[in-house]
């Protein structure tokens, strides 16, 4: 079987249904992320499986933000604040990547929900 755009799209839908069933049966969060890369012989994609936590992810991210805040030079109440960048899109601060040297602030674009990373100086510039 050769992989084509149309049959890869159909397989992805079926696979996501199986992942949803798997996540319900095993009480985990399963996310199929990003784009599928394929050619005529193979198909590659990313699947993440995480434990479910009783607390919401916003609470967990906020606690993580407060714990690693010293790396950014930002304030605790900056978490969740919205700002507009030079591209005209509205973003909100949604987390931190403590192992990253430069781009360690996670920001979420309001229009599409995608999470990006930025450096603290840029975020502070647009925030204040």
Does pLDDT of 49 surpass 90?
Answer: no
Query: Percent of the chain having pLDDT more than 70?
Result: 94
Q: Can you give the pLDDT at residue 57? A: 61
Query: 82 near 92, Cβ under 8 Å?
Result: yes
Q: What is the mean pLDDT of the chain?
A: 87
Domains of the chain: 5-51 (no CATH), 57-127 (2.30.30)
CA 51 to CA 103: how far, in whole Å? 27
For residue 98, pLDDT over 80 is answered with: yes
Segment 88-112 shows an average pLDDT of: 91
Q: Which residue matches tokens 């434990």?
A: 51
10: left (phi over 0), alpha (psi -120 to 50) or beta: alpha
Residue 61 has pLDDT above 90, yes or no: no
Q: How far is CA 32 from CA 13, 118, 125, in A?
A: 11, 24, 34
pTM of the predicted model, to two decimals? 0.58
Q: Which of 61, 74, 65, 80 is nearest to 128 (CA)?
A: 74
pLDDT band at 63 (very low <50, low <70, confident <90, very high): confident
Number of residues that this document lists for the chain: 128
pLDDT digits (tens, 9 = 90+) for 16-45: 899 889 988 988 888 877 788 999 889 998
Please state, in angstroms and as integers, the Cα–Cα distance from residue 46 to each residue in 4, 19, 111, 128, following that order.
19, 12, 24, 37
Tell me the average pLDDT across 74-91.
93
Q: How far is Cα 71 from Cα 74, in angstroms, rounded to an integer?
A: 8
């Amino acid at each position: 079987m050769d992989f084509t755009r149309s049959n890869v799209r159909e397989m992805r839908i079926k696979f996501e249904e199986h992942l949803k069933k798997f996540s319900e049966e095993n009480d985990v969060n399963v996310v199929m992320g990003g784009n599928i890369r394929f050619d005529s012989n193979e198909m590659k994609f990313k699947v993440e499986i995480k434990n479910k936590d009783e607390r919401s992810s916003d609470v967990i991210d906020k606690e993580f933000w407060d714990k690693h805040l010293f790396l950014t030079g930002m304030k605790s109440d900056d978490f969740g604040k919205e700002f507009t960048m030079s591209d005209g899109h509205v973003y909100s601060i949604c987390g931190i990547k403590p192992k990253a040297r430069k781009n360690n602030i996670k920001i979420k674009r309001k229009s599409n929900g995608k999470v990006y990373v930025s450096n603290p100086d840029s975020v502070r510039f647009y925030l204040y």
